[in-house]
Structure 1
């Protein structure tokens, strides 16, 4: 067996010959692999973990109000850039192309809503908040075409690509493209932790700094709650915080989400992968670890430049094993939230749940398309008629997994203001103007089609066939 040093030497010469990627990408990739081989995994000593104080994780309700003078607000916004992580494909939901072009509501896509929000800010305050989209090689071409439709809007839209790294064959550590796999399957984007070097390498970082921009607000493009919050921006500028992660109280649905801890005097992200097996249940409990990372991040641009230039952002490596055409491969990735411990005066901000509204599956799409939410000025807001602070839990069977199938199975999205939970399995079709309340379970028998008629009101019901309606 080759030693790690030999593996690295062989890898360097193999990567040198990959002319599809830049020198920056080659170096970044070799660095990542070298760190992985050296086993510098950051082990957390459980006894040293402390719960962060309100100074480190600031409750959003305690933030000072923003000055009411619109000229002061404009000054704040002129320092801001909004960045959406747009590298993901909608494959889980059966779509081709960037996930951000899935229609969310009223025929508008994630991207439409993001542009409308920033247009409104720019129009209201006479400022110029640009929108940056970090694409991957998977979403770049489609996104470039899609954003042409916004050319007349008052939002400057910039795109840049995150790095493209070769997948590694797990058995011999040879890059997959060196074995003739040169199409997209030979490559991967190395996680959103790559946003910092990619922003720098693209030249966008220096351009933004030269325009007087100071902070970037970065979030996943599928999180409908990730809108600009002036109070957070104002707080960071006043207190010279270089980094802020928005966290929100954990519910039982979020037990696997990363959390913020105080560790050896610094704030850092603790992910489930770093937790020793004997403490996993403790990590998942919502008594000890009460908050989780929403991946809404506010970061100082000059600090990013300083740390990237010093090669100081050594985030925990996430090994992601995959299989391509029967070959076991390894993808090494990093997460942007893990960078928090390298920034000065980094904080968390404990925000309302409304700022975390991701659409990861069609069950989430059902929530945001229903009467549980309203849409105005590009903002999706929860309906005040809903008395329960938690959203209903929704489980849809595989027949609903793809967006196209999901949409065809509902004549119209049911009213769910008073719904607690919905579970649907089998070949179920929904008519128009249906109301669901309490706990509803609908299970079609195998091989049978079950149609819920127009106007049906189902309250605390279990339906297994037409006779139960």
Structure 2
């Protein structure tokens, strides 16, 4: 059932580099052998508290970090279209705070620290990002490279998927674990090293908490740490996601939720209490050495069963081969994990998240760093919006035409029904606002809502 030659021909025809083809080939042979990427509970253990470094213990390294800034780069993953929010363009172009997009804020952060900025785009985001950069006109234009892609695998025959109605659907993004291979094949890795750039922070474009922390950078540089993962303590909201673990050789590994067995303890947040924020720090020379040693960077397989057309449940069943960039922690001797506060992790994945970040719960300071409002009630408001009226960005913006209400003193906000907010509205405490009528209800300008409201 090994049909790799067909995949090799297809990938070569699409102009993919030999390293990308070899990497896919290693995963494909695992699929042929019946491997699923599942990591059983008896192969790992939870990390001990003393194996994870607390971020507050790194304050003494801030001076070393400031000295290392001239050798640092931030690499931002910019491949997502934000389809879960109804977006059709890169999520990084969404206006998120103070009339600025993620892209503008990220560029401003890097400019203020005078560090190099790099974006990893996808085939879907490259052109729109280039156009946005032409409009913004940054003084120091960022470097960019494009994520690779893998062919989808038919589940029944393990042959390449074919979908003439839309050939683009025959391919899938290989997950953010591709960042290392894409850095190598694009030449970005060598270009950075030749410019004496030694340290990289890799993070997601939708997490504005992922800033170039000088204390972490100083720790990385002073101790010559090859790979560092920022982790945070899991809450019930994180139970369905992956977690940090330790293997039988006492090395860190990352287990994603797709790698849980059916009877796993993976969702037990008291047993496996740390999750990966996807803020990763690398010594670029160490990455170069690992890639030279491994030839192909064989991160643990994540095998996602899908249909070739995700919008057509009747289309052929396929496997998508993916990997997670955090899984590289297992490949570096001496890798470390640092527990950071949740302020370094507030990604905007939904319109619920966007409302919180756009509100006065967060402030954009003079260094373009998004930080919690000191007046906010910890841990911040929990927002639940009726998906019938707020699930995509156009519907959301129509219902908050003058911006988000004040949520700095709000602990929980639930909106049920079609409700539009005028400007200057303030929400206090735990509030449910309900509209049971067919027509849209309106919260008038300067209204104070401090208890449940039926409209």
Query: Aligned to 1:277, what secondary structure does the other structure show?
Result: coil
1:119-169 deviations in whole A, cap 9, x for unaligned? 1111xxxxxx2111001111111112222234442x341000111222233
Provide the aligned length of Structure 1 versus Structure 2: 445
SS in 1 for 2:380: coil
Quote the Cα distance in structure 1 between the aligned partners of 2:71 and 2:57. 23
Q: Distance in 1 between matches of 2:446 and 2:148?
A: 51
Q: 1:247 — aligned with what?
A: 231
2:135 paired residue number: 149
Superposition pairs of residues 16-415 of structure 1, within 5 angstroms: 16=12, 18-41=13-36, 44-47=39-42, 49-66=44-61, 68=63, 75-122=67-114, 129-153=115-139, 155-177=140-162, 179-180=163-164, 183-264=167-248, 265-279=250-264, 282-309=265-292, 310-311=294-295, 313-323=297-307, 324=309, 325=312, 326-376=315-365, 377-386=367-376, 388-398=377-387, 399-410=389-400, 411-415=402-406
- Is 2:409 the counterpart of 1:418? yes
Higher relative contact order (CA 8 A, sep 6+): 2
Structure 1 residues 349 and 217: alpha-carbon distance in aligned structure 2, compared to 1, 3 A threshold: same
Please list every run of 5 or more consecutive structure 1 residues that lacks an aligned counterpart in the other structure.
Answer: 123-128
- Comparing 440-449 with 158-167, which one deviates more in the overlay? 440-449
Q: CA deviation at 1:42?
A: 5.2
Tell me: CA distance 1:44–1:22, structure 2 relative to 1, closer, same or farther (3 Å). Answer: closer
Question: Closer, same or farther in 2 for the Cα pair 1:391/1:67, shift >3 Å?
Answer: closer
For residues 25 and 407 of structure 1, the distance between their equivalents in structure 2, rounded to whole angstroms, comes to 41
Kindly indicate whether the alpha-carbon contact (under 8 Å) linking 1:137 and 1:189 is maintained by their aligned counterparts in 2. no
Q: 1 CA distance for matches of 2:62 and 2:8?
A: 54
Structure 1 residues 182-227: Cα deviation after superposition (integer angstroms, max 9, x where no partner):
6432322110000001100001111111111111100000001000
Given the alignment of the two structures, is residue 429 of structure 1 paired with residue 398 of structure 2, yes or no?
A: no
TM-score, structure 2 as length reference: 0.92
Unpaired segments ≥5 residues, structure 2: none
Q: CA deviation at 1:320?
A: 2.1
Residue in 2 that maps onto 1:126: none
Could you tell me whether the CA contact under 8 Å between 1:101 and 1:111 is conserved in 2?
A: yes
Preserved contact between residue 107 and residue 138 of structure 2 (Cα < 8 Å): no
CA distance in 2, matches of 1:97, 1:114: 17
> Is the CA contact (8 Å cut-off) linking 2:75 and 2:203 kept in structure 1?
yes
Evaluate the alpha carbon distance shift between residue 19 and residue 449 of structure 1 in structure 2; reply closer, same or farther with a 3 A threshold: closer
Partner Cα separation in structure 2 for residue 231 and residue 45 of structure 1: 35
Asked whether the equivalents of residues 56 and 267 of structure 1 are also in contact (C-alpha less than 8 Å), the reply is: no
Contact 1:64 1:235 in 2 (8 A): no
